[in-house]
Amino acid sequence: MKFSVLLVCTGNTCRSAMAEGILKSMIPRKYEDDVIVVSAGTANLPGMPATPLAREVAADHDVDIDGHVSSGLSSWELDLADLILAMAQEHVTAILEMDAGAAERTFLLSEFAEQASEDVPDPIGGRPEDYEAAFEMIEGYLEEALPKILEMVGEANQ
């Protein structure tokens, strides 16, 4: 049974798009067939590519998000997700307003990583440095969260 991780932000063209690419690149080969990593936005236009700066910063870190296409958050995606990681508290709130039953599977990324309780700032419309800072913040949280995610994958497949 595949374990599904859903990463959520607002537009699904910057933060969660980069987070999806980062997490996919971190999953060890032995788990590739056991994990699905997807992303969505709480308020977006579906079908949009990742922003040029998000693609550029990701590529600078050997993470390919060139084929990313934005998706709007749906109750169907929430039902399928085993773990939901939100970039900001406003996304956690939106998720729980859409599906209160998702509360036990929904976390602010920074809290899930047990680092802090802070939002990943939205770089949309910002400078390259803003995208770089968001990428590095997301990458750091996902590095901290990865062992816990892989443990959850293992438990789901027992």
| Per-residue model confidence as pLDDT tens for the chain (158 residues) | 799 999 999 999 999 999 999 999 999 999 999 999 999 999 988 899 999 999 999 999 999 999 999 999 999 999 999 999 999 999 999 999 999 999 999 999 999 998 789 999 999 999 999 999 999 999 999 999 999 999 999 888 77
| Domains identified in the chain and CATH numbers | 3-156 (3.40.50.2300)
Q: What is residue 49's predicted lDDT score, i.e. its pLDDT?
A: 97
Q: What is residue 84's predicted lDDT score, i.e. its pLDDT?
A: 98
* pTM score, whole prediction: 0.96
For the annotated catalytic residues, the residue numbers are: 9, 15, 122
Q: What is residue 47's predicted lDDT score, i.e. its pLDDT?
A: 93
Q: What is residue 140's predicted lDDT score, i.e. its pLDDT?
A: 97
Q: What is residue 131's predicted lDDT score, i.e. its pLDDT?
A: 98
Sign of CA dihedral 42, 46, 49, 53: negative
84 in Cβ contact with 107 (< 8 Å): yes
User: Taking each helix axis from N to C terminus, what angle separates 128-156 and 15-26, rounded to the nearest 10 degrees?
Assistant: 50
